[in-house]
Amino acid sequence: MGNNKYKVLVIEDDDYILNLIETLLTMNGYQSLTAQTCDMGHTMFISYNPDIIILDLGLPDKDGIDFIKNVRQNFTVPIVVLSARTTEQDKIIALDSGANDYITKPFGSGELLARVRAALRIRRQNIPGALPKSQFKTGGLTIHYDSRRVYVGNCEIKLSQTEYNILSFLSEHSGRVMTYSSIVKTIWGCVDKGSTKKLQVNMANLRKKLGSKPGSNYYILNELGVGYRMVDEDCEIHETVAP
């Protein structure tokens, strides 16, 4: 056990990976709880009330998706999926079922820790009674929610209502991958055949206004085929595909 107040429940059936993650978390001051099946993970979750869950999907007793859906019936605890499943559809299903993030194996220790930190910020934002944020900052980007004004550095960026709504929604979930369908439902209320294309057109205009171009840093990352992620201070900014 470390001296960090955050408890991390790791549900993983591979002994080597489980020990690796447990050692990594302990070395960085987190309290690590472990389980190797869905049922044991659920028992540990109810017993210890962890601050975050790192979840494999291919577990011996049940699929990890079932665990996510079960937890999401009553709890908002952040869930980071760590899985060998790499298809876009697998990622979309996990994220739409309620996972906060998705990392594919093999993974880097730095990336895993960064995703854990980002997910813990989501938990802090969801604390009952917490005051709503009046602004969001990452890098040179500042969003003032009260006045709906956006700045890059000292320059105000003029956005359409739709562009601002997309940016605001992503910033409120910074560090988390938001699927195309979840963004479309929030902004337009329904998903139709051309909704993803409509989102991509608005996103291309938005990112251009924010100064994104090939070879530059991005505030919004494209998780190709899945959705978009607003960067925060712990995200590594790199991308080769736009919009």
Here the CATH number for the domain that contains residue 176 is 1.10.10.10
92, 125, 158 - which closes a domain: 125
Q: Is residue 87 domain-shared with residue 194, that is, in the same domain?
A: no
Number of domains in the chain: 2
Give the three-class secondary structure for 32: strand
Q: How far apart are CA 169 and CA 174, in angstroms?
A: 9
Instruction: Report if residue 160 sits inside a domain.
Output: yes
Residue 150: its pLDDT value, please? 93
- Residue 144 and residue 220 in one domain: yes
Q: Is pLDDT of 127 > 80? A: no
Mean pLDDT over residues 175-201, rounded? 86
Q: 66 with 37: CB under 8 angstroms?
A: no
Q: Are 105 and 200 in a shared domain?
A: no
Same structural domain for residues 24 and 76? yes
For residue 174, which of 141, 136, 222, 212 has the smallest C-alpha distance? 136
What's the whole-model pTM score?
Answer: 0.71
Residue range of the domain that includes 175? 135-230
Q: Does residue 125 register a pLDDT over 90?
A: no
242 domain residue, yes or no: no
Task: Kindly report whether the peptide bond that precedes residue 50 is cis, defined as omega within 30 degrees of 0.
Answer: no
What is the token pair recorded at 50?
A: 């962890």
Is the CB of residue 160 less than 8 Å from the CB of residue 207?
A: no
Please give the structure tokens belonging to residue 150: 């956006």
Bridge-based pairing of strands 7-11 and 227-230 is unpaired
pLDDT digits (tens, 9 = 90+) for 202-226: 999 998 898 865 445 578 988 888 9
